[in-house]
Amino acid sequence: MATRREFIKAAAAGTGALVVPQYATAKAAGAKPPMRFIFLHRGNGLFPTALVPPSLSKADAEKEAKKDPLDLDLGKHELPGWMNPLAAHKADMTLLQGLSGKMCTTGHHTWCSSLGVFKANERLSSIKWATVDFELAKLFPSPMEHVELACFPIGGGNARPSLNGIATGFSARAAQQPNYAFGSPKIAVQELFKSVSDNKNVQVQTQLSRGVLEFAARRENRLADTVSGTERSKLQSYADSIEAVRERDRKVDGMADRIRPHVPQLDAKYLADEMTTVDRQRGHVEVLLASLISGLTNVVAFTVDELGTEYTGLPGLEGEKVNMHDVGHGKTIGGVAADEIRFRHRRQHMTLIDTIATRLKKVPEGDGTMFDNTMIFYFPDNGETHHSHGTEYPFVVLSGKNTKLNVRGRYIRLPNYGDAGHKTLGNWYTTLLNAYGNPIKHYGDPDPGLARFGIDQTGAIRIFLS
């Protein structure tokens, strides 16, 4: 039984609700393109002060210092220096402050809790429901449903034994069902685009794998006919999972002509087993873009780093292995102070987002571009500091003109924790889901600590939907 379960896990990595993309099937009928959602999350916290525009007036700076509400035109302000790579996208940007997430696991790292709004650890039993990225993927179906990429840590936090394999990710498909993430661009390309590969060996292996799946599906169905009760239900579930993978492959095959032009032609350095962290991030971005542009998926989650990530290739520190956990504790590395390392670290992330946004703005779609139908979220998986308490989860958001949220081009600070009108990660994700077709009353767990303030924690952030 364990062997069968592990086989299905590996085979089903990256699959889910296996249907033809809405845009692919409805394009001829003039239907609107789907929305795309890209979640980039980072470890080791993100100081709220780092998001504050340096050009605030004295009065607004005083409000910011007291964490009073603010809603400012970002176009009238300078961006913090580490955001300069996104200067061309300021009109599409939202700097969102004041969301809390104390109902999540906080501290050093949070597993999937900041995307699911519940306390989580590495036990499957702690996963209460699908994370918000998977809920959004259900609203805009695609063959792969969801693609997850990760720069796995090898020491501390959610450590993985290998940087390059397919391993448990940081999103969740459903209750007690963690997702699987690709650790290297090479593995991601091989798995996601194998159906349209020109490599003869890959073609042979793909056909062999499909033969194994067909055999396994028949075997599970036959076994299910010989037993009853719980064992029959389990066997049927395995058989259904295998058939879902086969159905995904059929859908991808039907899109081959659309997918083939977008197979990423990665530079050799992105295909190597040994590469810098920065190159791994850049390679993953190429895979991310190809997966979206080809129509394989409409939702991508990308863990750009984690607690135990040892950075290599960081600008100005190319010869160093930068342990971000040490940086979180104020350690100077290579003669560079911790605050400066954090600055360079954040700026590196902004170059990734710039690459994504710039490329999507060049892809025609409908009466505009793919970026018009895209939202990008950058946020810390553990909150406001290296040792976080969850009182704030700062977000940098880029969104196209067809977004259904009224947030573009603004610096927004919501009411502080405990103040009237305060909002949580649950409110934020409920807003996203409500805006795009899921009428859920509230997504995520409540924060018991807010109860003493008499704050209604349920529902969407209405000012973002007006």
Instruction: List, for residues 351-371, the tens digit of each pLDDT value.
Output: 999 999 999 999 999 999 999
In the predicted structure, residue 55 carries a pLDDT above the cut 90: yes
In the predicted structure, residue 450 carries a pLDDT above the cut 90: yes
**What local confidence, expressed as pLDDT, does residue 248 receive?**
59
**What local confidence, expressed as pLDDT, does residue 162 receive?**
78
In the predicted structure, residue 110 carries a pLDDT above the cut 60: yes
In the predicted structure, residue 288 carries a pLDDT above the cut 90: yes
**What local confidence, expressed as pLDDT, does residue 198 receive?**
59
- Domain boundaries, given as residue ranges, for the chain: 1-30+194-262, 32-181+276-464
Average pLDDT, integer, range 296-322: 93
Instruction: List, for residues 393-421, the tens digit of each pLDDT value.
Output: 999 999 999 999 999 999 999 999 999 99
CATH class of 32-181+276-464: alpha beta
> What is the crossing angle of helices 277-294 and 185-192, to 10°?
20
Give the C-alpha separation, 185 to 140, whole Å.
25
Q: Choose the most confident range, by mean pLDDT, from 190-199, 306-315, 417-426.
A: 417-426
Q: 26 pLDDT band (50/70/90 cuts)? A: very low
**What local confidence, expressed as pLDDT, does residue 253 receive?**
65
Average pLDDT, integer, range 316-337: 94
Both structure tokens of 124: 């499957």
Average pLDDT, integer, range 84-113: 95
In the predicted structure, residue 4 carries a pLDDT above the cut 90: no
Q: 28 pLDDT band (50/70/90 cuts)? A: very low
**What local confidence, expressed as pLDDT, does residue 9 receive?**
46
In the predicted structure, residue 137 carries a pLDDT above the cut 60: yes
Instruction: List, for residues 149-180, the tens digit of each pLDDT value.
Output: 999 887 766 667 678 888 888 999 999 888 98
Share of the chain above pLDDT 90, in %: 66
**What local confidence, expressed as pLDDT, does residue 265 receive?**
86
Both structure tokens of 377: 């979220």
Q: 136 pLDDT band (50/70/90 cuts)? A: very high
**What local confidence, expressed as pLDDT, does residue 194 receive?**
77
Average pLDDT, integer, range 283-295: 96
Average pLDDT, integer, range 103-121: 93
Long-range pairs, 440-448, Cβ under 8 A, ≥24 = 443/117, 443/132, 443/135, 444/103, 444/116, 444/117, 444/118, 445/103, 445/117, 445/118, 445/119, 445/128, 446/103, 447/100, 447/101, 447/102, 447/103, 448/103
Range scoring the smallest mean pLDDT among 198-202, 251-255, 339-343: 198-202
Instruction: List, for residues 206-240, the tens digit of each pLDDT value.
Output: 443 444 434 444 554 555 556 566 665 555 555 55
Higher pLDDT, 5 or 356: 356
Chain mean pLDDT for the chain: 85
In the predicted structure, residue 21 carries a pLDDT above the cut 50: no
pTM score, two decimals? Answer: 0.87
